């Protein structure tokens, strides 16, 4: 049994237990929506008229994860199901949390939720849908509509504006016109939301949407991008050399790459979906600040972006710091962006440089960025194919072999200066990878000839 099936069974048992005690208990929110759409829910939540203390009394193991808001987690084995008491919410403290809550009935609980498609309840015992907000209608119409007045829903919780975009693009729905209008008018309020919350929504938009590039365009059109990812705004309209980028400006190029992420993805990549999404998203963020006019390889003036990879890597790092990214992912994304122009030269690289490129911890991430970069522009994959071919040639030996020479060898030879040791080790290792030596003894002889003459 899958994890989600096990949780569903546990949630059903919880509902049955509550109903046997005379309480109303129903599946609530996203799981109802997904079941009606024939999608696999991410989790199952229960809503009830039982008070939190009554839920705690009925089940042997519970956690008061949000007791102040009427939410108790019921734990059974490896499953944890959130059980929430029907409630109304009044006012807002910070654009995210209500001033006060009052326990209520199912209809009132539905009316305080965000969107109609998330405001339905389902009784799995009686097999009965409870729809007070026309959620089923909007599922059929394939639209995301705020419950009641959109302005009120977004004033209560500003993050709902990003959630609206997420649901629309994750489900392939449109935004209801009045809901969309309210977002345009209130987009600036998203600045009041914490970076962690914004990152979580942006990540789900980028990783769960069938066409993340179209979702990013929607964020820009609604005015949300300028308050969540302002560094990307200058990419809009930033022209590029048409001979390399016939697709258009930097923003269009980035959106096209994002849309291509879900096509022909590598099997079992070493990077996470979030890493490739943000690597693609930010890989050219350094182009607008480095744009200039200068001679191209044909001697004619064109738009140039000299140093944009390194500038973009530094900018990406600051963006990821603001979004509270883990250090490892932040480091990997920065490295991939900083080195993404190296693929232009792979066919002319010395073997040692090529092997170091392939042997890097971020190589898979860099290769996928390069593949998408090509497909989102000139569509020429000759450098990508060259590297893949070289990998196949090297399949029977380590890309980065153990170095034959170490610092102790050099010290024993009487070479004691630190910088010189580092230089010799680097040169010797590169020569080893280029097969200029057949053994450690040959390497030592080479060092003696060059540095002990």
Same domain, 396 and 257: yes
Is residue 412 in a domain? yes
For residue 124, the tally of other CB atoms under 10 A from its CB is 18
Label residue 228 left, alpha or beta by phi (over 0 means left) and psi (-120 to 50 means alpha): alpha
Same domain, 290 and 416: no
* End residue of a domain, out of 141, 175, 207: 141
Residue 63 is given by DSSP the state E
8 A C-beta contact, residue 79 and residue 7: yes
Same domain, 120 and 76: yes
Q: Which residues of the chain have pLDDT under 50?
A: 453
User: What are residue 121's phi and psi, to 5 degrees?
Assistant: -125, 155
Check residue 452 and give its pLDDT. Answer: 66
Check residue 93 and give its pLDDT. Answer: 61
Distances (CA, A) of 451 to 410, 414, 416, 424, 446: 10, 10, 12, 9, 8
8 A C-beta contact, residue 63 and residue 72: yes
Check residue 94 and give its pLDDT. Answer: 63
Domain holding 16, by residue range, is: 1-141
In this predicted model, what pLDDT tens digit does every residue of 366-417 receive, in sequence order? Answer: 999 999 999 999 889 999 999 999 998 887 777 878 888 787 878 878 787 7
Is residue 242 in a domain? no
Same domain, 396 and 261: yes
Is residue 302 in a domain? yes
Check residue 401 and give its pLDDT. Answer: 80
Same domain, 291 and 209: no
Q: List Cβ neighbours of 149 (8 Å cut-off, separation of 6 or more).
A: none
Label residue 345 left, alpha or beta by phi (over 0 means left) and psi (-120 to 50 means alpha): alpha
pTM: 0.88
- As a whole number of angstroms, the distance between CA 318 and CA 282 comes to 11
Same domain, 73 and 106: yes
The closest of 249, 243, 251, 203 to 226, measured between CA atoms, is 251
Same domain, 187 and 329: no
Check residue 445 and give its pLDDT. Answer: 80
Q: What is the CATH number of the domain that holds 102?
A: 3.30.460.10
* End residue of a domain, out of 196, 228, 260: 228
Is residue 234 in a domain? no
Radius of gyration of the chain from its Cα atoms, rounded to whole angstroms = 28
Alpha helices per DSSP H over 38-176:
52-58, 106-111, 135-141, 150-156, 160-171
8 A C-beta contact, residue 86 and residue 112: no
Same domain, 183 and 94: no
Same domain, 146 and 254: no
8 A C-beta contact, residue 71 and residue 82: yes
Same domain, 381 and 368: yes
- As a whole number of angstroms, the distance between CA 177 and CA 215 comes to 16
Same domain, 378 and 341: yes
Same domain, 316 and 388: yes
Q: What is the CATH number of the domain that holds 343?
A: 1.10.3210
The span from the first CA to the last CA of the chain, in angstroms, equals: 72
Is residue 86 in a domain? yes
Residues in a beta bridge with 76? 79
- As a whole number of angstroms, the distance between CA 232 and CA 8 comes to 41
- The structural domain count of the chain equals 4
Residues in a beta bridge with 131? none
- As a whole number of angstroms, the distance between CA 361 and CA 270 comes to 9
Q: List Cβ neighbours of 417 (8 Å cut-off, separation of 6 or more).
A: none
Which two three-digit tokens encode residue 212?
């993340």
Is residue 25 in a domain? yes
Is residue 128 in a domain? yes
Crossing angle between the packed helical segments 195-208 and 273-282, to the nearest 10 degrees:
100
């Amino acid at each position: 049994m899958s994890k989600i099936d096990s949780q569903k069974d546990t949630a059903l048992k919880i509902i049955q237990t509550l109903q046997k005690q005379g309480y109303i208990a129903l599946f609530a929110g996203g799981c109802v929506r997904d079941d009606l759409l024939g999608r696999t829910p991410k989790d199952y939540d229960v809503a009830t008229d039982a008070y939190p203390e009554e839920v705690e009394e009925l089940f042997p193991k519970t956690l008061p994860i949000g007791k102040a808001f009427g939410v108790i987690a019921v734990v059974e084995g490896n499953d944890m199901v959130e059980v929430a008491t029907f409630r109304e919410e009044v006012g807002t403290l910070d654009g995210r949390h209500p001033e006060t809550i009052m326990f209520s009935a199912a209809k009132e609980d539905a009316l305080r939720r965000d969107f109609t498609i998330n405001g339905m309840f389902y009784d799995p015992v009686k097999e009965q849908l409870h729809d007070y907000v026309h959620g089923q209608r909007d599922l059929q119409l394939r639209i995301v509509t705020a419950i009641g007045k959109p302005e009120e829903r977004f004033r209560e919780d500003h993050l709902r504006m990003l959630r609206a975009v997420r649901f629309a693009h994750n489900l392939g729905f449109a935004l209801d016109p009045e809901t969309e209008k309210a977002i345009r008018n209130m987009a600036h309020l998203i600045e009041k939301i914490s970076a962690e919350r914004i990152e979580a929504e942006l990540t789900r938009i980028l990783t769960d949407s069938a066409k993340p590039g179209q979702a990013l365009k929607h964020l820009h059109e609604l005015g949300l991008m300028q308050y969540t990812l302002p560094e990307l705004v200058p990419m809009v309209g930033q022209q590029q050399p048409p001979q390399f980028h016939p697709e258009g400006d930097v923003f269009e190029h980035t959106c096209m790459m994002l849309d291509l992420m879900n096509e022909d993805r590598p099997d079992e990549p070493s990077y996470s979906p979030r890493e490739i999404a943000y690597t693609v998203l930010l890989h050219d963020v350094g182009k607008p600040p480095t744009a200039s006019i200068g001679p191209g390889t044909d001697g004619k003036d064109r738009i140039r972006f000299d140093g944009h990879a390194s500038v973009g890597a530094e900018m990406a790092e600051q963006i990821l710091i603001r979004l509270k990214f883990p250090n490892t992912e932040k480091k990997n994304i920065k490295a991939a962006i900083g080195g993404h122009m190296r693929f232009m030269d792979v066919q002319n690289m010395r073997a040692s440089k090529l092997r170091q490129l392939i042997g890097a911890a971020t190589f898979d991430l860099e290769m996928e960025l390069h593949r998408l970069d090509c497909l989102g522009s000139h569509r020429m994959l000759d450098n990508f194919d060259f590297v893949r071919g070289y990998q196949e040639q090297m399949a029977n030996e380590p890309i980065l072999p153990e170095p034959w020479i170490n610092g102790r060898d050099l010290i024993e030879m009487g070479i004691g200066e630190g910088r010189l040791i580092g230089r010799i080790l680097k040169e010797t290792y590169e020569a080893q990878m280029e097969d200029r030596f057949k053994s450690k003894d040959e390497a030592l002889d080479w060092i003696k000839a060059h540095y002990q003459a």
